Structure 1
Amino acid sequence: AEIAWGKKTACIAICDITRPVPNEMILRPVLRTLEEAGIVRRDITILVATGLHRPNLGAELVEMVGRDIADNYRIENHYGQELSQHTYLGQSPRGVPIWIDTRFVQAELKITTGLIEPHLMAGFSGGRKLICPGIAALETIKVWHGPEFLEHPKADCGILDGNPVHEENTWIARRTGCDFIVNVVIDSERRPLKWVAGDMEAAFLEGVQFVKEVVRDTVAEPVDIVVTSSAGYPLDTTFYQSVKGMTGALPIVKQGGTIIIAASLSEGIGSPQFEQLFREHDNLELFVERILGKDYFLMDQWQLEELAKVRRKAKVKMVSGGIAPEVLAGLFVEPATSVEAAVAASLAEYGPDARIAVIPKGPYVLAQVA
């Protein structure tokens, strides 16, 4: 409450529908505290940090924040492709142009909420990620998500030290300014396990330490086959999001092994740009060479780059009712009718003594070889 006294306007950045954050549980006390400190309700903006994802509207907003908050507070979406809605804040040390949503930049009190979990590029989600990429413009994200960052060996799940993706968006968030964060760690049933709040960096690192203790699991040696999932709704609604489950299996699968992943893919492949990437490229290594050449860019290319990392090491069999098998076959994965059928086919390939590991909720586990 102390940091809110004397402030006239506030902006609270929250995760979009792709993250199962208990937003209502977080927002109720935060909003009450802001109003008790004298900030008028009409001067509080809840900003959905979509990054470059689609906006969340109508029933989705009610699902995210609850009916009462949806009906009584101003909730607006971030539109990352609308540069005019952003303010330029200079360049980061590695040359990323910093364009951040003007509504957040101009607010006298800046708050972010979020979920701390393993992240395939930034090490862990939460904290600084609500600002970059959450409320950053495409011009910022395309450089920060560029191959110069993502091909770095430390740009990986569970790694912060030496990870340029983490270091750069921490710098960008610090440059933007953030007065207070509230982040949560959830269990497999999506119930809050731990809350952290306060300074953007200190609270985030406290949460990361806890996550490392609860989500890390090991196998004695690399395995031939990993069976996993995209952890259900909302992370399994698109092929784009399902790549996160695949990357979670990489540390424990053998070179030349197989990852079997189940996902609903109820919303299809992903953005129009992501679909275009598959139409334009039938060879992943040539695609990576092309983006490294810097004369080509298409939004969401970073997720195809992550898929290329997966395919360098392993085959992928995908079980889904959301995308037709003939379409899946054009996405650098092999369609499978069921997990059981995929396991049987893999055992036929690797033999009855093949080692199998199961990661029930791929994106939420730090799988490692002991």
Structure 2
Amino acid sequence: MKVRLAYGKSGLEVEIPDRNLVKVLTMQQTPRLSAPQTELQRLLQFPIATLPLRELAQKRRSACVVVSDITRPVPNCLLLPVILEELEASGILRNRITILIATGLHRPNEGEELIGMLGKEIVRNYRIVNHHAREDQEQTYLGEVSQGIPVYLDSIYLESDLKITTGFIEPHLMAGFSGGRKLIAPGICGQETIKELHSPKILEDPRCREGNLEGNLLHEIMLEIAELAGHDFIVNVSLDEKRQITGVFAGDPVEAHLQGVEFVRQHVRDTVPKPVDIVVTTSAGYPLDLTFYQAIKGLTAAIPIAKPGGTIILAAACEEGLGGPEFTQLVHKITDLDEFMERILHKPVEIDQWQMEECAKVARKADIFLVTQGLSKADERGTFTRIFPDFDQALQAALTKHGSSATIAVIPQGPYVLAEVESD
């Protein structure tokens, strides 16, 4: 059977033997909204569990609208014009509105990339600022939350009278689901807060995983940080496999997010009868597979349906290589899996170690075959992978390992699908 995988900007068509294929896991067919901006306008007037945005904005002199960075395909070109028009109609002057990009520890978004994210008119007419987590002077200390985590947060956000976040909701490898509180923590937190949020004392808890909010310590701490910082209103969306809007959830940051999570859970979950020998997955293509750092989300999405000792084949373009400078340095000094785990469990948190910790969780259960043109064989040791430039070579190696009757499941959109075993 021919299957098209989300890979880079153009995709990758692969052939899976019919005799081995158990299932192609996909998002459920969900009707896209024919007029998402009209639906957003309605929700700004009749939001979930809070006052209309215009009422919230009245008597406020300034506003901060937080948006995701390039690594998230949020349709800001559709959402922002409606939100900004409502803010200005409430009386907030345009020059008192800031669009803050929640980069976390990622690189800033500028130039043509910024225009592609937000649209030319918005880039031309509004103040847009990238969050800089490493710049301590740009953060304000707010105190501590659970687990003794110190909270440093972007001062521009804190100084704004009205605080709004946008985003989209999908399964998230640590926080259960993205969206809502996640734009604040870690999105606009300082580096010390981000490091502690991603420490092993939190992430090694098995409840910090895709699709789970109940007892998820990371989710609970992020909610604490958002409450401490102030969070007035959210506009979150759900997307289908073609990144068309299927739902809009606007209003109270907690209630609107939970409503969106339940909608998304129903539409992204797919199952196999039992774990399989080989899982073929992706990181949902561009922009999520720009780096290996982001592509790891495709691995964790596959692990629930892989047999212990199985193989996960991840197809990810990794056009920008491993990731940022800290992550690249971290990967290059890893000697093996056991050494890495020993180090992170007993030494202070390093920037980006958490992503390799998630990769290590996968590698402790299954072999990882990485299909990419963006990395070299020299990167295998530090990424816990075997690297193949060609998908057919990787598949043949996996079939040689597991035998001609090996079972295979395919997740063409990787982390956008909540893959589970039926009995779970």
Compute the TM-score of the two structures, normalised by the length of structure 2: 0.86
Matches within 5 A, 1:55-66: 55-66=108-119
Does 214-223 or 82-91 show the bigger shift?
A: 82-91
Matched letter for residue 405 of structure 2: D
Matches within 5 A, 1:6-21: 6-21=59-74
Deviation at 1:279, TM superposition (A): 2.3
For the pair 1:91 / 2:144, whether they are aligned, the reply is yes
Q: Distance in 1 between matches of 2:356 and 2:285?
A: 21
Matches within 5 A, 1:323-362: 323-328=375-380, 330-362=382-414
For structure 1, which runs of at least 5 residues remain unmatched after alignment? none
Q: Distance in 2 between matches of 1:279 and 1:25?
A: 40
- Deviation by residue 1:275-327 (Cα, 9 ceiling, x = unmatched): 1112222122221221111x333210000101110100000111111122333
Aligned to 2:364: 312
- Deviation by residue 1:213-248 (Cα, 9 ceiling, x = unmatched): 000000000000001111110000001011000010
Matching residue within 345, 348, 353 for 1:292: 345
Matched letter for residue 274 of structure 1: F
- Deviation by residue 1:98-137 (Cα, 9 ceiling, x = unmatched): 1110111110000000010000000000000000000000
Matched letter for residue 253 of structure 2: M
For the pair 1:177 / 2:214, whether they are aligned, the reply is no
Matching residue within 194, 203, 214 for 2:247: 194
Query: Secondary structure in 2 aligned to 1:162?
Result: coil
Indicate the percent of aligned positions where both proteins have the same amino acid. 53
Matched letter for residue 335 of structure 1: I
Kept in 1, the 8 Å contact 2:280–2:411? The answer is yes
Matched letter for residue 137 of structure 1: G
Matching residue within 80, 101, 104 for 1:51: 104
Deviation at 1:83, TM superposition (A): 1.3
Matching residue within 173, 178, 181 for 1:128: 181
Deviation at 1:330, TM superposition (A): 4.3
Matching residue within 126, 129, 132 for 1:73: 126
Kept in 1, the 8 Å contact 2:371–2:387? The answer is yes
Q: Distance in 1 between matches of 2:117 and 2:270?
A: 30
Q: Distance in 1 between matches of 2:373 and 2:294?
A: 16
Matches within 5 A, 1:189-268: 189-268=242-321
Q: Distance in 2 between matches of 1:346 and 1:284?
A: 21
Q: Distance in 2 between matches of 1:265 and 1:8?
A: 43
Query: Secondary structure in 1 aligned to 2:364?
Result: helix
Q: Distance in 2 between matches of 1:198 and 1:347?
A: 49
For the pair 1:39 / 2:130, whether they are aligned, the reply is no
Deviation at 1:191, TM superposition (A): 0.5
Superposition misfits of 4+ residues, deviation over 6 angstroms: none
- Deviation by residue 1:52-106 (Cα, 9 ceiling, x = unmatched): 1000011111000100001000000000011111111111022111111011111
Q: Distance in 2 between matches of 1:196 and 1:139?
A: 31
For structure 2, which runs of at least 5 residues remain unmatched after alignment? 1-53
Q: Distance in 2 between matches of 1:281 and 1:346?
A: 25
Q: Distance in 2 between matches of 1:291 and 1:318?
A: 24
Matched letter for residue 298 of structure 1: E
Matched letter for residue 356 of structure 2: L
Kept in 1, the 8 Å contact 2:334–2:382? The answer is no
Deviation at 1:329, TM superposition (A): 5.1
Query: Secondary structure in 1 aligned to 2:321?
Result: coil
Compute the TM-score of the two structures, normalised by the length of structure 1: 0.98
Query: Secondary structure in 2 aligned to 1:196?
Result: strand
Kept in 1, the 8 Å contact 2:270–2:418? The answer is yes
Matched letter for residue 197 of structure 1: A
For CA contacts below 8 A with separation 6 or more, give which structure has more relative contact order. Answer: 2
- Deviation by residue 1:244-263 (Cα, 9 ceiling, x = unmatched): 00010000000000000111
- How many residues are aligned here? 369
Q: Distance in 2 between matches of 1:323 and 1:139?
A: 30
Q: Distance in 2 between matches of 1:330 and 1:34?
A: 48
Matching residue within 170, 182, 202 for 1:117: 170
Query: Secondary structure in 1 aligned to 2:243?
Result: coil
The RMSD of aligned alpha carbons is: 1.0
Kept in 2, the 8 Å contact 1:182–1:195? The answer is yes
Matched letter for residue 300 of structure 1: D
Deviation at 1:139, TM superposition (A): 0.9
Aligned to 2:77: 24
Aligned to 1:154: 207
Kept in 2, the 8 Å contact 1:123–1:163? The answer is yes
Q: Distance in 2 between matches of 1:323 and 1:281?
A: 16
Q: Distance in 1 between matches of 2:380 and 2:90?
A: 53
Q: Distance in 2 between matches of 1:18 and 1:37?
A: 32
